[in-house]
Amino acid sequence: MGSLTGNTLNQLTLGATLSEKSLTKSLLVKADHVVRSLPENMVWGYYGADVPPVARVKDGDVVEIQTVNPSGVSRTNPEKFYTKNNLPIDQHAREVIAIMKNVKPEASGIKGHMLTGPVYIDGAEPGDSLEIRILDMTFPAPFGVNSVWPGGGGIPDEVKTRETFVYRYDMKRKTASLKEGINIPLKPFMGVMALSPPADMGHQSSIPPNFYGGNLDIKHLVKGTTLHLPVSVPGGLFTTGDGHGAQGNGEVSGVAIETAITLTVKFIVHKGKTLKQPRAETPTHFIAVGLDKDLSKAMKNALSEACAFIKDELGFTFNEALSIASTAVDFEVSQVVDQTLGVHAMIPKSIFTKRKFDYWS
């Protein structure tokens, strides 16, 4: 549970540049801590109150967290993916290879994403909420991966063969392409940002999202936005991964453009601010989240959360809140592929003409 400060931080910072041919440069955001994508900082596929933190930070600290994308990379021959797709085995690729060779899956067989963390935030206690300000996201590798496979995605019975697509990035145009004639705008975000579930829930797979966050796959959580999560254990234990270069609402093939992202966040603890579900905010919208294995129930839950937010945070009656939700709030399907499905409500700030919403970005 050591803090990444002093000599340790200096060593990590010296090694923080993932490639001499790095595709993107971070904004001038000074991190108080750097958590590198090294085997000892990774957890494969799960969260839990007993997972040892890899860093300990203070309330208000800025933390750079490096994540990886092992999509298509095998444990037995991880180098093959890079040579087969004519991708360089640079420093970042070597880190992915080391992770695949050395990080063990969860002992009971839980499956999920390759994650970085957890990070312990001093002062965060059960009953609090954690504000996660997304200050920056950069790509340490020039590509991402999307796949289709039988039994996966939103139309599982219609997919007859497995195929993996490598999307190569043009950073000048900020696009990704799988072949000539198709250019997808790059809009990076983290698919997974989670706090630990309560101790009595044991280990939980990172695939289904839950009240503690996780695999929310909300495409709007880009740089300059904020995620709020309820704290269930001391220190919160923040874990992240599953970077996405771009994704459509629904994530209908089963995955997005899966990609490595270096995430820079600021953690702010809100004492006694209890949340039942994740909430988010952009410069223009508040976002309420609904989750359930049944999509219609996820929609109902998103509506309930949106009405509760408009009522409790903005001072309207329940009936007024429902009317506002019906006339001005867009409900979008986050994803239909993560076992627990997601709907998010986009509540525009502009309609509340007597309110001024200060926002950090």
Kindly state the average pLDDT of the residues 159-188.
Answer: 97
Partners of 137 in beta bridges: 263
Residue 75 lies in a domain: yes
Helix (H, G, I), strand (E, B) or coil at 304: helix
What is the rounded (10 degree) CA torsion for 312, 189, 237, 277?
20
Do 31 and 112 reside in the same domain of the chain?
yes
Q: Which of 270, 290, 324 is the last residue of a domain?
A: 270
The residue with greater pLDDT, 4 or 282, is 282
Residue 359 lies in a domain: no
Do 146 and 253 reside in the same domain of the chain?
yes
Contacts of 335 (CB under 8 A, 6+ apart): 215, 217, 249, 250, 251, 341, 342
* CATH number for 335: 3.10.28.20
Q: What are phi and psi of 168, to 5 degrees?
A: -95, 140
Do 286 and 325 contact (CB within 8 A), yes or no? no
Residue 242 lies in a domain: yes
Do 164 and 54 reside in the same domain of the chain?
yes
Residue 275 lies in a domain: no
Do 137 and 257 reside in the same domain of the chain?
yes
* CATH number for 53: 2.60.120.580
- 304-361 pLDDT, tens per residue? 999 999 999 999 999 999 999 999 999 999 999 999 999 999 999 999 999 999 999 8
* Domain tally, the chain: 2
Q: Which of 244, 270, 296 is the last residue of a domain?
A: 270
Do 210 and 309 reside in the same domain of the chain?
no
Q: Which of 250, 270, 290 is the last residue of a domain?
A: 270
Do 182 and 311 reside in the same domain of the chain?
no
HEC profile for 109-174?
A: CCCCCEEEEEEEECCCCCCCEEEEEEEEEECCCCEEEEEECCCCCCCHHHCCCCEEEEEEEECCCC
pLDDT over threshold 60, residue 21: no
Helix (H, G, I), strand (E, B) or coil at 349: helix
- 38-65 pLDDT, tens per residue? 999 999 999 999 999 999 999 999 999 9
In angstroms, how far is CA 230 from the centroid of its own chain? 16
Do 127 and 85 reside in the same domain of the chain?
yes
Range of the domain at 140: 6-270
Q: How confident is the model at residue 143 (pLDDT cuts 50, 70, 90)?
A: very high
CA R_g for the chain: 20
